[in-house]
Amino acid sequence: MSNSTTLEQVVETRRQEAVARYFEAVWRGAAAEEILDLATAAGRTPAEAQNDIDTAARAHELIDKAETLTPARQRLAAAVAEHGKLAQELAAVVAKLRPRVDAAAVAADDTRNEVRAAEEAATQLRSLWRAHQELVPAAALPAAVAELVNAEARDARRAELGRLRAAAFENLQAARRRVAEARAALNEPMQIGYEQRQRAHKRELAAAEEALRAAEARLVEADKALAEAGGGGDK
């Protein structure tokens, strides 16, 4: 009985040693053949060995990440301290600038109201001057109001020149049609009174061509005037 107990102890001791060697090999990442041999001696199946290998790999990965915990905490503490310091400095700067910011805001509002009042006065003065030019000298108008008046005059001038240019273009189109009709009339068939009508047609064509040249000249002048006033037209 004593010898049997001793033999069992030896077997168990060897099994434990085999298991220990197996887990050591798995932990240090030994070659697959070595792990497989040790797994057989330790009584581990291939599936169990693969699971042990995966577990060991995951443990190594977690160890690597966990080792960064202490330095990361140190960096966090430093970052929080720096943030607190800068926040205090910012609060001090804001507190120092706050009166100036508030004063600037008040000044901006006051100036904005002043501009609105001046714009309203300029609008009213422009209307009053248009209605009473004989009473209010143009030279008395402030520069801003004078510029508004001049801008209105320029706009009105451009509008008028635009209308004149449109009329000149319509006259040109009418003159072109008149010339075309006169030329077509010259091609009428020979009938009684043909020569007399031809002389009349030629006189009409000459008059139409003269009118066309005049219309073209008026359109050129209208385009030139419109261009000088800052407008433009298409022939």
Burial of 27 per CB tally in 10 Å (0-12, 13-18, 19+): middle
Q: How many residues are recorded in the chain? A: 235
How crowded is residue 165: how many other Cβ atoms within 10 Å of its Cβ? 23
Nearest-angstrom CA–CA distance, 53 and 59:
10
* Residue extents of the structural domains in the chain: 2-67, 70-141, 142-228
Decide: 18 and 35 in contact? Cβ < 8 Å.
no
User: For every one of its 235 residues, what pLDDT tens digit does the chain have, with 9 covering 90 and above?
Assistant: 445 568 888 888 888 998 999 999 999 999 989 999 899 988 899 999 899 999 999 999 999 999 888 899 989 999 999 999 899 888 999 888 888 888 999 899 999 988 988 888 988 888 888 888 888 888 888 888 888 888 888 888 888 888 888 998 998 899 899 889 888 877 877 676 778 888 888 898 899 899 999 989 998 988 888 888 776 555 5
| pLDDT (0 to 100) of residue 14 | 87
Computed from CA positions of residues 46, 50, 53, 55, in that sequence, does the dihedral angle turn out positive or negative? negative
Full-model pTM: 0.41
Token pair for residue 84? 């607190």
Are 161 and 229 in contact, with CB atoms under 8 Å apart? Answer: yes
Please give the pLDDT value at position 231.
63
Task: Report how far residue 205's alpha carbon sits from residue 175's, in angstroms, rounded to the nearest whole number.
Answer: 11
Question: What are the phi and psi torsion angles at 39 (to 5°)?
Answer: -65, -40
* The predicted structure's pLDDT at residue 1: 43
Residue 232: per-residue pLDDT: 59
